[in-house]
Amino acid sequence: MIAARHGARRTATLLIALALTASLVVAATAQAGAPAANPKATASVIGGHNATIAQYPSLAYIEGVQATSGYACTGTVVAPRVVLTAGHCVEDIESSSIVEPGEIAVATGVSNLTKIPDANVSQVVQVLAYPNFDPTKLQGDAGLLILAAPVAAPPIPLATTADAALYEPGDPLTIAGWGIDDRSTGHTPNQLQAATVPVEEAARCKKGTRRFYPFFDPSRQVCALDIPGFKITACHGDSGGPAMATRPDGSAVEVGVVSLGDGSCNPASPAVFTRVDQISTWVQSWINAVELGAPAPKVVIPKAHLPTLTRERAEEISAYGLEEAFGPKFIHAQEPQINCDRKSKSRLKCGVTWYQGPNDYFGTTTVFYAIRHNVVLAGLHFSVHWVNDQCYFHSGHRASCQVQTKRD
């Protein structure tokens, strides 16, 4: 879930060392314009309780890399090779760039993110944004991940226009996802969290969201608010996860996709979901194409544009690249410093220094965004020198000290 347009992020600690390892940063530094990969996660259910995958077997954990950041999202298995998630989890809203399939992976059949067997991690072969997804308004906020092979997780049914009664004010919605369970401390449990909140009436949704999101549209979105307790809400890393309801026959159905909320994950503010009954026909057309061999729907690919490269992101990419290039010599660095200056909207040059063992390291990195085949990619070049500290500063024979250099 994101705050209107921008979502908080935290460093990931787990999953896709299996599929998105730090070795991808080597590719980023070795190939101009290739993406720097280091997944990050966002937040999850506030005020929830521990849940098991047996209770919510269709849940999927997602990690990926967009041009402007790594991220984590939640999703649901809707067919053996199809996972439903949020549009902003598959399209970088800062650049309109669709995430490359090789930069995203999915874990299913697990509830604790510290215990993910290789067999539970799926590769993605196609990434799709809902054709009517509007990243400027976050309407139609839905996307699909097509997996390389079928998973054992049972698909969750999707709401259709016949399920309109499940969107009535007061109807209970169950949300589930991974991440922060205390917004004041940022504590992030690895265990799946779940909670139940009631649907809020449209007029109060519009009023309650207008401070941080003026585009609420009840024909395309539904919101929930934990009245009167104000203790439960979805939060950032729940993005793409389900809002689930119960049909009259007692079966579970996904009626919403977690989309956005206020930036602080305040339970006193409504959480907004994409209405599944408005996108389920599109989802079903892709299920038919992937699983039954029906003709594939037309794919709408937005035109990518270069986003602004922030100093924070440039420093982050620099650290990832240096960690990969120098290994323990940077990982165990003393007093590492990375200070970046802007050269253009999408390029920064950074001075870097650190100490490790007997050596002093110093040099520069250049971090940039570039568009390749309509995809925004992050790239890194560096030039780093090092010299023995004792020789250079204390021997009195500075000219004889060997200065070594590594560039990319």
pLDDT of 241-300, one tens digit each? 999 999 999 999 999 999 998 888 899 999 999 999 999 999 999 999 999 999 999 998
Higher-scoring residue by pLDDT: 3, 191: 191
What confidence score (pLDDT) does residue 334 get?
95
Tell me how far CA of residue 360 lies from CA of 86, 363, 379, 384, 406, in angstroms.
46, 10, 25, 10, 13
Tell me how far CA of residue 314 lies from CA of 32, 328, 376, in angstroms.
15, 21, 15
Say if residue 30's pLDDT is above 60: no
CA distance 113 to 103: 19
What confidence score (pLDDT) does residue 205 get?
96
- Bridge-based pairing of strands 221-224 and 193-198 is unpaired
CA distance 251 to 109: 20
Instruction: List the one residue out of 175, 184, 190 whose CA is nearest residue 45.
Output: 175
Confidence of residue 396 (pLDDT cuts 50, 70, 90): confident
Note if the bond before 172 is cis, omega within 30 degrees: no
What confidence score (pLDDT) does residue 235 get?
85
CA distance 210 to 272: 12
Instruction: Please report, rounded to a whole number, the percentage of residues in the chain having pLDDT higher than 90.
Output: 75
State both tokens at 394: 């204390």
Mean pLDDT (whole number) for 317-335: 96
Residues 190, 12 contacting (CB under 8 angstroms): no
Say if residue 406's pLDDT is above 70: yes
Mean pLDDT of the chain: 87
Say if residue 188's pLDDT is above 90: no
Confidence of residue 395 (pLDDT cuts 50, 70, 90): confident
Instruction: List the one residue out of 337, 366, 355 whose CA is nearest residue 392.
Output: 355
Instruction: Please report, rounded to a whole number, the percentage of residues in the chain having pLDDT higher than 70.
Output: 88
Give the CA dihedral 78, 82, 87, 88, nearest 10 degrees: 110
What confidence score (pLDDT) does residue 237 get?
78
Classified as helix, coil or strand, 309 is coil
Confidence of residue 179 (pLDDT cuts 50, 70, 90): low
CA distance 300 to 274: 19
Per DSSP, 307 falls in state P
Mean pLDDT (whole number) for 159-168: 97
Tell me how far CA of residue 364 lies from CA of 129, 321, 361, in angstroms.
37, 12, 10
Give the CA dihedral 369, 373, 375, 379, nearest 10 degrees: -30
Instruction: List the one residue out of 382, 290, 357 whose CA is nearest residue 82.
Output: 290
pLDDT digits (tens, 9 = 90+) for 199-244: 999 999 999 999 999 999 999 999 999 999 999 998 877 899 999 9
pLDDT digits (tens, 9 = 90+) for 34-64: 222 222 333 358 888 999 999 999 999 999 9
Confidence of residue 1 (pLDDT cuts 50, 70, 90): low
Say if residue 31's pLDDT is above 50: no
What confidence score (pLDDT) does residue 28 get?
29
For tokens 């409504």, the residue is 270
What confidence score (pLDDT) does residue 300 get?
87
